[in-house]
Structure 1
């Protein structure tokens, strides 16, 4: 929807104290049409009065007071706070009052501050739509007040998570209330559980078959043996039942061996895959894991008093070390080395690092994805300042 220069001039004559652009007027007109502020008859009358024909110039002058009254109604309607996506051709992304959004944001931040990391809800992956981006951009300037009062990285992370939670609530995204695991997942794969269940059932059946072959004819044992030979035309009263039992036991034992081999093969493949991936990312860590001895973890726990005494003897008692003449040689060789310039982290550095990160990569313990660090751009300066303080403290 385009608004001509004539409309801008007409609006300037009515409201000389208000500065508008073509885009502003287009957004307001679109809002009026969508919110049904005026019915069809009223809109048609306003169009005729705004664009009079050659024979209606005199009537237009007589209708000026009524037009001013209608203009006041239009101004009251368009003054309703809305969130406008100015970067997406002026499309109205979310018709929410700013005060309601600010209240939702404050409530989410207060809730996040009092919630442990493991109890935080799982944030949903949002669709990259104009509406969702508009809500994120609307909350972005509201975070300045909270971030300026942030004291450390933990509090900054809590504020950002609260803002992400507020966005999810505003757009109606589903949130999982299940507690998140804070450590490395140790769940057994489903396929391995199924195979182990098959092995357990096969071993239990072998035990029943051996009991029946040895002469145990209890009703429960007989019932299980009959179920084992169901559909094979094998009767328990036939003369060669002992041979059939032996064949059935051998078949089950072979299946157990095959299932166990499958588990070992999958385990070895998974180990090789993890080692190859670790070799590409961190060879030192791989070699350490290969050389590390297996610790059973059994045995008595160390005594606390003995542990404190041991480390106190190492760190609390002053010791005079004789380093020898080699320290002076090293010091003289390093005297001409120019010290490295201090690392200065700027907001642009943080923005560039965040830009290259995947949006929905698996988050850390805080549950905050990179998508939110990209959307809440006001946090880049705060993060850069926090990293700068950390690096300065480490050098000192």
Structure 2
């Protein structure tokens, strides 16, 4: 009974192949298989060319929008961290750069020259973020990009259209300094990026600051 079942399944498979390739002669199945085997390399080559075009298009777009990331991806090394500096070493090195206030000479001539060269230019119009701007930018935003501390992804911001007017008023009032920017909006996530194989050297580990999602949105929508 088992052999009959296997034989029946085989016959059904042969019938399906004959029906698909419009043949009534089962002897032609061998030729059909050979024909398909010949098409596989051509299909693989076609997929390879298609992927190359997609990759080139992606790289061109990245080069246009963010050349720094484009070049970084070209020279990216697979760096394995064998040894790393302690937190205190990193704090000492980077705090000396970011927390030390520098005093610059504001009386140099070139500053006055630039001021005089641009004094007749009209002032920049006051910034305003309208609901239409928000909707237009959100339409081109990635749906599930990492959200900010409000944990609201772009997908839901697109759907919650009732919030767009409120976002517009709040963002515009902050840009025009009608109200103080809340402290939570200025908080972000900082990660450490290793720049070379010298993983023990604090100079080769740079902090990468990811601003709050809403603060990024203000800059992005107003650009």
TM-score of the aligned structures, taking structure 2 as reference length: 0.41
TM-score of the aligned structures, taking structure 1 as reference length: 0.26
Higher relative CO (CA 8 A, sep ≥ 6), structure 1 or 2?
A: 2
* Max Rg structure: 1
